[in-house]
Structure 1
Amino acid sequence: MNGIKTKECSSCRTTFGCGDTPEGSKCWCNDFPPLFVPTTAIDCLCPACFKKSCSDKIDEYISTITPETALDNKAALLPKSTHLIEGIDYYLENGNYVFKAFFHLKRGSCCGNGCRHCPYK
């Protein structure tokens, strides 16, 4: 365990804490889906830039999904998590959670509720 380090975002130059805590809590970035190969990353990004980068990468992937390919998608193979991330898994509309296509793809099948962003239509 290395502890938290102060880093500078390679995108916006904001300083932020990066790493696991001495008490055993994992770094905040572990809440995000594992989308990046460490060898292709420039360096750590701050939480805001990392979230945007993840969202952009997910949107790029979603644009390739059709109802025919949705059932056999890579997102369904990601480790399951109970932690939902606003802007990636859902957004709020009039106080209601609206689940995005990525949330549905991670589940791996249609729930049958007629969700707005269901990729399995």
Structure 2
Amino acid sequence: MTILACSQCQATLNCNVDDINACWCNELPAILPLDSTTTSCLCRDCTLTKINLFLNALYQQPLKNQLSFAASFSSHNPLIENLDYTMQNNYMVFSRWFFLKRGTCCKNNCKNCPFKNTKLTSDAK
């Protein structure tokens, strides 16, 4: 285990680069594409921020594209705070990402449901 500084915010983090399967970052889904700007480890908060920025760009695409991308992450468990949900007034509020991974609407008028005002159903994935 190596102690590093987050390349974004300089927070201290433990990196287990020698055994990536045992590293904390392996708990997060591999949503981000690897690119030339990814040169060193980020802390959990900065990683989640970067993932959410990527997802916000994805949300600008047609719903069918969003569902197609999210489908490969549908079995990723457990739920991750600030990715799959946020806590608001002691309640879990599921994110758009959570609903995209699930791929269907529960028809409960959820706050972040991507299926609101759309004719796309789970059959049209």
TM-score when normalising by structure 2:
0.76
- Partner residue in 2 for 1:5: 2
Partner amino acid, structure 2, of 1:59: N
- Partner residue in 1 for 2:33: 37
Please, which of 106, 111, 115 is the counterpart of residue 116 of structure 1? 111
C-alpha deviation, 1:64, in angstroms: 2.3
Q: 1:112 to 1:59 in 2, by over 3 A?
A: same
Deviation string for 1:74-119 (max 9, x for gaps)?
0121251222122211111211111110000011221232212111
Partner amino acid, structure 2, of 1:52: T
Partner amino acid, structure 2, of 1:106: K
SS in 1 for 2:111: coil
- Partner residue in 2 for 1:81: 76
Where has structure 1 moved over 6 Å in runs of 4 or more?
Answer: none
Q: Distance in 1 between matches of 2:18 and 2:74?
A: 22
Name which of structure 1's ranges 97-106 and 51-60 shifts more when overlaid on structure 2: 51-60
- CA-based RMSD of the aligned residues comes to 2.5
Structure 2, gaps ≥5 residues long: 117-125
Q: Distance in 1 between matches of 2:47 and 2:66?
A: 27
Q: Is the CA contact 1:65–1:119 (under 8 Å) kept in the aligned structure 2?
A: no
- Partner residue in 2 for 1:27: 23
Partner amino acid, structure 2, of 1:10: S
Q: Is the CA contact 2:59–2:66 (under 8 Å) kept in the aligned structure 1?
A: no
Q: Distance in 1 between matches of 2:103 and 2:23?
A: 27
Aligned length: 115
- Partner residue in 2 for 1:61: 58
Q: Distance in 1 between matches of 2:35 and 2:65?
A: 28
Deviation string for 1:30-57 (max 9, x for gaps)?
2212122344312111122112111211
- Partner residue in 2 for 1:95: 90
SS in 2 for 1:73: helix
Determine which structure has greater relative contact order: mean sequence separation of CA pairs < 8 Å that are 6+ residues apart, divided by chain length: 1
Structure 1, gaps ≥5 residues long: none
Partner amino acid, structure 2, of 1:29: C
